[in-house]
Structure 1
Amino acid sequence: MKIYRIFYMFLLAILAFSCEYDMTGPNRVSFVDCSECSADEPLSAYITIILRNPYELGTTGGVIIVDIYEGNLEDNVIFKSIQATRTEVEVNLPVNKKYSFAASYLIDNKTYIVVNSVTPKVKSDKRSCDEPCYYTTPRKVNLKLRRTG
């Protein structure tokens, strides 16, 4: 009896999170903000890098070094390097390529590195808006330092 409950809950979870169409009809479930769309397919995407406040950690000079690598971090193909002094920094990257990010926090003469990666992709939605809608996803990459000890 317990196995049936687990199977039933699993089946409900699959139905709830994997459907592309609304259960009540053929209308597509949409999370697209039409004001952020473009009529032409974009060749690049603006990615917001989210960092921890450099001043609350005592980061040297209030600067966080963010290195952006094309492909995997291990490939060591540097695309761009940024010195950030804010909690959010925006960069423009070509789509359909993987980018790895490494944020270096220098605190009390120790270097802490936060690593993450994204692959900006172009998606389209022709039903939710009046005109064809092209948008990029993901738009953010989290490089916040969680703890230092």
Structure 2
Amino acid sequence: MKAARIGLLAGLLMGVTLSGAAQQDTKTLAAQRADMTWLALVDSEQYDQSWKDAGPAFQSAVTQEKWTETIKRVRDQMGKLVVRRLKSASYSKSLPGAPDGEYEVIIFETSFEHKQVGYETVITSVQKDGAWRVVGYYIK
């Protein structure tokens, strides 16, 4: 199956000062929580809501109608989620073709009902309100 490319970028402090590594770990955890929440919407076929919960960069890259149509077709082909495992996570202040900001690129190794091994790449970014939101998603 060809890689399904969907919606690229066209998207705690806890009261004490944390070291740089601890701050990055906190950011990575916040990004991963945002990813898992968003992916849960996709997994439960709440495609319209996943588009609404994505960042503005995602929304400007693909219309809600096109997103829903495309992800539904791809996920129908792959079948239901069996298991998703974190493969890698990397934090960056810049990505090619995107404005500088705070990004987390997370890759999951994912098994589906009809595709034993797949890879999902989820790109999240800190938004103006401080929340991490999905700004890119690829599945292959």
TM-score w.r.t. the length of structure 1 is 0.31
Greater helix share, 1 or 2?
2
Q: More relative contact order in 1 or in 2 (CA 8 Å, sep 6+)?
A: 2
| TM-score of the two chains, using structure 2 as the length reference | 0.32
Which is higher, the Rg of structure 1 or of structure 2?
A: 1
